[in-house]
């Protein structure tokens, strides 16, 4: 096949040619190429240039940056003509993509550097780092984006669940904590352990239910099997970015007088029947962990609700249970979204359509390129808008860990979300109950999530798909 060519991690325009970016045809072609491959572009002049980041003293570039200059002085320097000769007509199969991660968070920072850095510095220099104005701005912007009446910024997605559940306990049952003996809350077996953990921390007992074998979201049939006279509510997880069957779940909740909490840690901007997840049940709980489809640069989360009472309780529970400082009405906790995180998330929120579009485009490529009878691709039922926080395949015959090892040997990272069902996690198992026959363990041996970084270029996704096809042969 011949020697493979490494795509640059960053393209830097030398000072002497920066002024020609909008007039020089060769430089325009380079910019176009960079945008196709989502390569961060940089310049070192003082003035702002649209779509191109300014180099600041502390910038850390990727592992193979290329400097575009009039004359080649070092290996990392290329003239515009040399660059185009090397890369413009490159065959996808001759590209060396290096180590391919599930995500490339440092690339995202570099790609949007000008916007993120200016927002970060403004917040940093203000000195107003706890509950600064950006937190309120983000809460308001979140409500506008997803159509919720109220939202409260908190320290993490886990805290959003705990506080959301406790706000329901206060508003609906008039108690600060649920009771382990008296209150049961149904959760899915396939989820991150924070879902069930939050139920335990709110005082209740989790009851573990099966997930649907096609969507991997909680099974309405299993919810029905898991209801007792002690059942108070359901925590629905919109796993991998796909909404659960909210019509069926809300029908069950209404018939049995149960509350519904939506765990939207992976589903920001996904929709069920035109409504955004997090606005369909009583409470929506979002995570801003860096890997999420709306991710911050540290921990963070938000609680969304259309219920004023729940909002009022949630607003104070994360501030030590106090409306007035030093005068706590309830047992609360210290859970406040940092101002700096809020300022960065406001910029990311502006780009949620772009990130969602890219994730869906990547899923579309995988769907088209991965074609084998022994691979089950993600399912997007009618009424549901998938945001592909994860793109998760399922192998019918071959073991998922064998494919994972093969892809790892080919420098492609994959993950299993999640390897341990809730009933197999010791801390959860000993504090929970099960009334249905669980089959999730078999699913966890067959599933594998593929790289879904929005800034991975189309050619890279096709490369991963080819490797999967090679393994299946």
Beta bridge partners of 456: none
The three-class DSSP label of residue 396 is coil
Give the C-alpha distances (Å, rounded to integers) separating 408 from 64, 102, 411. 21, 11, 5
Instruction: Kindly give, in sequence order, each residue whose CB lies less than 8 Å from that of residue 70, ignoring residues fewer than 6 positions away.
Output: 14, 16, 17, 79
Q: Count of H helices and E strands in the chain?
A: 16, 23
Q: Is 320 left (phi over 0), alpha (psi -120 to 50) or beta?
A: left
Helix (H) / strand (E) element for 107: namely helix 105-111
At residue 2, the pLDDT reads: 59
Catalogue the long-range contacts made by 274-280 (C-beta closer than 8 Å, 24 or more residues apart): 275/147, 276/145, 276/146, 276/147, 276/148, 277/146, 277/238, 277/243, 278/146, 278/148, 278/304, 279/146, 279/147, 279/148, 279/304, 279/306, 280/246, 280/250
Q: Which pair of tokens denotes residue 199? A: 């139920």
DSSP letters spanning 255-287: HHT-EEEEE-TT-TT-EETTEETTSSSSEEEEE
Beta bridge partners of 68: 13, 78
Instruction: Kindly give, in sequence order, each residue whose CB lies less than 8 Å from that of residue 424, ignoring residues fewer than 6 positions away.
Output: 441
Domains (range + CATH), the chain: 5-96 (no CATH), 117-349 (3.40.640.10), 352-472 (3.90.1150.10)
Taking the C-alpha atoms of residue 393 and residue 70, their distance in angstroms, rounded to an integer, is 47
Residue recorded with tokens 């929005």: 454
Residue recorded with tokens 């108070």: 232
255, 249 Cβ separation under 8 angstroms: no
Q: Which pair of tokens denotes residue 245? A: 């069957």
Averaged over successive runs of 10 residues, the pLDDT of the chain (473 residues) comes to: 84 91 93 96 88 91 94 83 90 90 96 94 92 97 98 98 98 98 98 98 98 98 98 98 98 98 98 98 98 96 98 97 94 96 97 98 98 96 98 89 96 97 98 97 96 97 96 91
Taking the C-alpha atoms of residue 195 and residue 146, their distance in angstroms, rounded to an integer, is 22
Range 293-317 burial, b when 16+ CB lie within 10 A, else e: bbbbbebbbbbbbbbeebbbbbbbb
At residue 245, the pLDDT reads: 98
**pTM here?**
0.96
């Amino acid at each position: 096949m011949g020697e493979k060519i490494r795509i640059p991690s960053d393209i830097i325009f030398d000072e002497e040619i920066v002024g020609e970016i909008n007039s020089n045809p060769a430089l325009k072609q380079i910019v176009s190429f960079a945008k196709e491959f989502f390569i961060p572009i940089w310049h070192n002049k003082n003035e702002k240039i649209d779509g191109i980041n300014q180099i600041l003293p502390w910038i850390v570039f990727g592992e193979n940056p290329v400097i575009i200059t009039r004359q080649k002085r070092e290996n990392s320097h290329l003239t515009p003509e040399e660059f185009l000769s090397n890369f413009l007509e490159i065959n996808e199969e001759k590209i060396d993509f290096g180590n391919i991660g599930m995500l490339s968070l440092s690339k995202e920072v570099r790609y949007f550097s000008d916007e993120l850095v200016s927002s970060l510095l403004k917040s940093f220099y203000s000195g107003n780092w706890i509950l600064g104005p950006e937190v309120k701005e983000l809460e308001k912007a979140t409500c506008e984006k997803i159509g919720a009446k109220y939202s409260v910024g908190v320290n993490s997605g886990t805290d959003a669940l705990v506080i959301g559940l406790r706000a329901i306990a206060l508003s609906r049952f008039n108690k600060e904590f649920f009771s382990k003996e008296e209150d049961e809350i149904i959760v899915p077996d396939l989820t991150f352990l924070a879902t069930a953990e939050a139920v335990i921390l709110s005082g209740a007992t989790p009851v573990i239910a099966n997930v649907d074998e096609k969507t991997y979201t909680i099974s309405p049939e299993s919810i029905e099997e898991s209801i007792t006279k002690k059942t108070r509510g359901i925590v629905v997880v919109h796993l991998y970015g796909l909404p659960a069957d909210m019509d069926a779940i809300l029908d069950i909740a209404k018939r049995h007088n149960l509350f519904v909490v939506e765990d939207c840690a992976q589903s920001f901007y996904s929709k069920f029947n035109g409504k955004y997840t997090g606005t369909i049940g009583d409470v929506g709980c979002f995570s801003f962990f860096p890997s999420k489809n709306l991710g911050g640069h540290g921990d963070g989360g938000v609680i969304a609700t259309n219920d004023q009472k729940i909002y009022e309780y949630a607003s104070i529970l994360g501030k030590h249970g106090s409306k007035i400082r030093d005068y706590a009405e309830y047992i609360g906790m210290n859970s406040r979204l940092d101002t700096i995180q809020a300022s960065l998330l406001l910029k990311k929120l502006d780009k949620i359509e772009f990130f969602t579009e890219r994730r869906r485009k990547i899923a579309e490529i995988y769907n088209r390129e991965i074609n084998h009878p022994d691979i089950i691709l993600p399912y997007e039922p009618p009424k549901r808008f998938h945001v592909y926080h994860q793109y998760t395949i399922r192998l019918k015959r071959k073991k998922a860990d064998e494919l994972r090892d093969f892809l790892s040997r080919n420098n492609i990272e994959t993950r299993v979300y999640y390897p341990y069902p809730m009933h197999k996690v010791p801390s959860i198992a000993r504090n929970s109950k099960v009334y249905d026959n669980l089959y999730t363990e078999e699913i966890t041996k067959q599933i594998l999530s593929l790289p879904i970084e929005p800034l991975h270029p189309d050619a890279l996704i096709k490369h991963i798909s080819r490797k999967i096809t090679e393994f299946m042969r």
